[in-house]
Structure 1
Amino acid sequence: MRPAYALARPLLFRLDAETAHGLTLRALDTLHAISGRLLLPRPPKPFPTRVFGLTFPNPVGLAAGLDKNALHAEALFALGFGFVEVGTVTPRPQAGNPKPRMFRIAEHSAIINRLGFNNDGVDALAHNVERMRTRRGVLGINIGKNKDTPNELAEADYLHCLERVYPLADYVTVNISSPNTAGLRELQEEQALRRLVGALREAQERLGARHGKRVPMLVKIAPDLSDSDIEAAARVLSDLQVDGVIATNTTIGRPDVEHLPVADEAGGLSGRPVMAQATTVLRMMRTRLPETIPLIGVGGILSGADAVTKMAAGASLVQCYSGLVYRGPALIDECVEAMRRRKEAPSRGNVPPEQ
């Protein structure tokens, strides 16, 4: 952990989790405006990684949810991420769920959140992206539906967001796996998934022709899918030839923390306790999808060894969120270097066992 974050973390952890979240992002913006380099004396050494037809400066990214409105992306890139995913964004602004709605479980390096796609709407996000002066990596935009849009009309919400962000994004993620919007995960059921993703794939091809560029489209899945659900999702996503899959979102389960009072709080659990479950889903998807569909591994990455475990399970890229909260920016460089060593290691030996 770098000294600046080591000093700041105890102070931040005395605050409500969501208050600390906002304060940290504002502080990062201020430091970036002053120095341009933030808390890292130097960024990770370049580790170019080509996935989805895009070249990532390194394979370690920031998961969606930290910067829902793309207000802080330049400062977050300056931390050393190879890619930053902003959102989830919805067509219309919405406040999200009532507060408090984010809870730390520090002894398990975990977080429970039920934010509920709180964001300023897709037009505001697009405006913020258009105002960015520099991009030091790949920018992903994560899209969803408004809370009050019934599932039978969800397609229109996703299409609206896709059309608005398409010319601005390096890739787009379709979020159908958050547990914090009632009924959203029902869109992962086979027939609903086929209808929604099929419509979005058709729009993706139309937009590619209109804008003269093809923007990859990824689908983010939940860690709580049954084996049969995973089989069905892989079948649909393979048939529709999506560009990639992100495995996984937060879990509605409470592995390792079920004995704690905070476990009764509604919402999705992230951090160390979700590592095994998310990695199992990642591995299962890798064995069921064609190699032409790469995977991003996310969920429970608290160390470089965790990032390597995701690689061993089939991930081409990884994303962090809760790990950044508990470890600070040092986690980024640690993961980049661990993944570099794993890739450069001989094919036999020096590869940790899958967990």
Structure 2
Amino acid sequence: MFYYLIRKLLFLMDPEKSHIFTLKCLNSKHMQIFINLFLKPIPSIPVKCMGLVFPNKVGLAAGMDKNGEYINFFNKLGFGFIELGTVTPLPQVGNLKPRIFRIPSKEAIINKMGFNNLGIENLICNIKKSKFKGIIGVNIGKNTQTPIENSINDYLICIEKIYCYTDYIAINISSPNTKNLRNLQYGILFNNLLENIKTKQKEMHQKYSKYVPIAIKISPDLSKNEIIDISNQLIKFKIDAVIATNTTLDHSKIYKMQENRITGGLSGFPLQSKSNTVISILYKQLKKKVPIIGVGGINSLNAAKEKIQLGAELIQIYSGLVYHGPKFIRHLIKKL
């Protein structure tokens, strides 16, 4: 009840300003002392996936902490893993503001951020300073100014730089807010991307005697045949996991609302069924050869359980945290 009262005030602010203000307040030293008093540690319920042991099944999706500035706070919430980013080789400001829009009646968010971040070097510094004892993943993307035909180089740069500082790497080729990015999910571009990142992974593994798993984050707007093609490639190149899914450009679930005129990726409850459909198809095609991380529209314990029943080994939360607060995360962890 306390969170919902606070949320009413926060929702009076611009969403992006509210996001930054809230995280900065919660990350302050005084608030950390308060959190330590009232948020007791949650017992670990280990889950093995990608060759890693996760303290529990519930993770923070990419986008909430792009620059790794709030790792210690999210650690206190009990997340078994935190995915930072999306981060790019060079800093970039992203798309024009306003670029985040709430739809409270649908428990949804539309964003058109455009990979705004402070660059991978800054993220590495923040990871080094953190005390998080769970699993850290880093979600990487290409810089906006990099032509799509040269985009593989951006991913390889990020892999090389972040390899020693993360537990897994997520390749973001499915954001709808960077021009032509989703083209990397298809045909020769997809094949070349997977081939190059697996070669780089092998090179780094040999160099550092450390194997860092690589996951591919895909779109919810793919057709069944496209998902089948992607599944075959994931198996062929022995990709370590697939994250299903990113945000959707399908606004049909909010078509009668004023917000339907806003462009950008839709997340939250309206994404739930599309994400579940993708997970279901992936599970049938992958036959447990590639683990699935389910994300998209998890707003209740039943929604979380459904993702797992459909084949997800781990789940990630974003909009659910915005609409239901820290207690929701702890509830999921305990009940799952």
- Report the TM range for the smaller structure's normalisation: over 0.9
User: CA separation of 1:334/1:275 partners in 2, compared to 1, >3 Å: closer, same or farther?
Assistant: same
Return the match for 2:242 from 226, 245, 265. Answer: 245
The question of 1:292 aligning with 2:292 is answered no
5+ unaligned residues in a row in structure 1: which ranges?
Answer: 340-355
Identity over aligned residues, as a percent?
Answer: 43
Question: In the alignment, what sits opposite 1:12?
Answer: 10
Q: 2:112 aligns with which of 108, 111, 114?
A: 114
1:53: Cα distance to partner? Answer: 1.0
Q: Is the 8 A contact 1:67 1:86 kept in 2?
A: yes
**Structure 1, 245-254 or 70-79: larger mean CA deviation:** 70-79
Cα distance in structure 2, aligned partners of 1:81 and 1:88: 18
Compared with structure 1, are the counterparts of its residues 146 and 40 closer, same or farther at alpha carbon in structure 2 (3 Å cutoff)?
Answer: farther
SS in 1 for 2:82: strand
| C-alpha distance after superposition, 1:77-135 (max 9, x if no partner) | 11110100000000111000000000000000000000000000111111111122x11
Partner of 1:323: 320
Q: Secondary structure at the match of 1:37?
A: helix
Q: CA deviation at 1:31?
A: 5.5
* Residue in structure 2 matching 1:206, options 179, 203, 208: 203
> Match for 2:217 among 220, 227, 249?
220
Q: Which position in structure 2 is the counterpart of 1:91?
A: 89
Matched residue, 2:135: 138
Name the amino acid aligned to 1:47.
I
Checking the alignment, whether the CA contact within 8 Å between 2:39 and 2:77 is kept in structure 1 is: no
> Mean Cα displacement is larger for which, 52-61 or 36-45?
36-45
Distance apart, 1:47 and its partner CA:
1.2
Deviations 1:277-323 (A, max 9, x none): 00100110111114131110000000111110000110000000000
Which one has the bigger helix percentage?
A: 2
**Which residue is equivalent to 2:259?**
262
Change beyond 3 A, Cα 1:62–1:275: same
Normalised by the length of structure 2, the TM-score is: 0.97
Match in the other structure for 2:74: 76
1:7 shift after superposition: 3.0
Match of 1:346 in 2: none
Change (3 A) 1:32 1:112: farther
Offset from partner CA, 1:45-98 (integer Å, 9 cap, x none): 321111111111111000000111111111111111010000000011100000
8 Å CA contact 2:77–2:330 kept in 1: the answer is: no
Structure 2: runs of 5 or more not aligned:
none
Distance 1:294 1:42 in 2: 31
8 A Cα contact 1:28 1:38, kept in partner = no
1:240-263 per-position Cα deviation (integer Å, ceiling 9, x unaligned): 000000000000001321111111
CA RMSD of aligned residues (A): 1.4
Residues 256 and 38 (structure 1), Cα distance of their counterparts in 2 relative to 1, 3 Å cut: farther
Q: Does 1:168 align with 2:180?
A: no
- Residue 124 of structure 2 aligns with which residue? 126
Count of paired positions: 336
Counterpart pick for 1:274 among 271, 280, 294: 271
Aligned partner letter, 2:61: A
Q: 1:33 to 1:130 in 2, by over 3 A?
A: farther
**Alignment-derived partner of residue 149 in structure 1:** 146
Secondary structure of 1:78 counterpart: helix
The answer on whether the counterparts of 1:234 and 1:289 sit within 8 Å (CA) in structure 2 is: yes
Runs (4+) of structure 1 exceeding 6 A deviation are none
